[in-house]
Chains A and B, each alone.
Chain A
């Protein structure tokens, strides 16, 4: 149980580290709009991940699930769509006003996916070496 919670902590920390390293790399080698895209895209998904985490922590309480059952699914999905709409408005403004470069934004938005893949690779490597020993 503790190990599995460590994965989420690892993903959360890796999100911020990737965002920071992406931002610094962008500042050094990429144009201003591209870097702004990385930073703002990364911020959007990192904040989204935090909100998703807090929603699930609140909702996935065994007593609440036993009492309310599948109506909780509706609750979570409504919150998801609200979050998605807010992200959509922000991304719309960023792209339509041409504040950021689209490819930079896509790179920034990939921060959480990259963190999850890194966490998966890390866990796989760990289990592989455990079996080898």
Chain B
């Protein structure tokens, strides 16, 4: 596998797996929160705040993965060296 194919594959896998994981995590958390509110509506405020903090953390994980994927595609630190090596061959 050459360098560019590997980079694109890594970027795709990075964001794909991260988005899947974050989606599943958010779904589980939100499902639990809904169940909690249905059982005890008085706890809505507490659940809401904890959900907000948790979801913000999960969301930032997905954004980090996205940035890593985009860096791999467009701002790879070793890209120029790799292209120079390919050019030399």
Residues of A bordering B, CB below 8 Å: 1, 4-5, 7-8, 11, 44-45, 48-49, 52-53, 56-57, 60-62, 65-66, 69-70, 72-73, 76-77, 80-81, 84, 87-88, 91-92, 95-96, 98, 102, 105-106, 109-110, 112-113, 116
Complex-state Cα separation, A109 to B53, whole angstroms = 16
Q: Please report the total number of B residues contacting A with Cβ < 8 Å.
A: 36
Q: Give 10 new A-B contacts, CB below 8 A, not counting A69-B34, A80-B26.
A: A5-B45, A52-B59, A65-B38, A70-B31, A73-B27, A84-B66, A95-B71, A96-B74, A109-B60, A113-B56
A84 to B53 Cα, complex, angstroms? 17
CB pair B44 A102 closer than 8 Å: no
Chain B residue at smallest Cβ distance from A66 = B38
Q: Given A91-B66, A96-B70, does the pair A77, B49 have CB atoms closer than 8 Å? A: no
Residues of A within 8 A of B64 (CB): 106, 109
Kindly identify, within residues 14 to 52 of chain B, every residue whose CB is under 8 Å from any CB belonging to chain A.
19, 23, 26-27, 30-31, 33-34, 37-38, 41, 44-52
B88 smallest CB distance to A (angstroms) = 25
B4 at the interface (CB under 8 A from A): no
Asked whether B30 lies within 8 Å of A77 as measured between CB atoms, the reply is yes
Taking a contact as CB atoms under 8 Å apart, the answer to whether B34 and A65 are in contact is: yes
Task: Decide: A105 and B52 in contact? CB cutoff 8 A.
Answer: no
Contacts of B63 in A (CB 8 A): 44-45, 84, 87, 91, 109
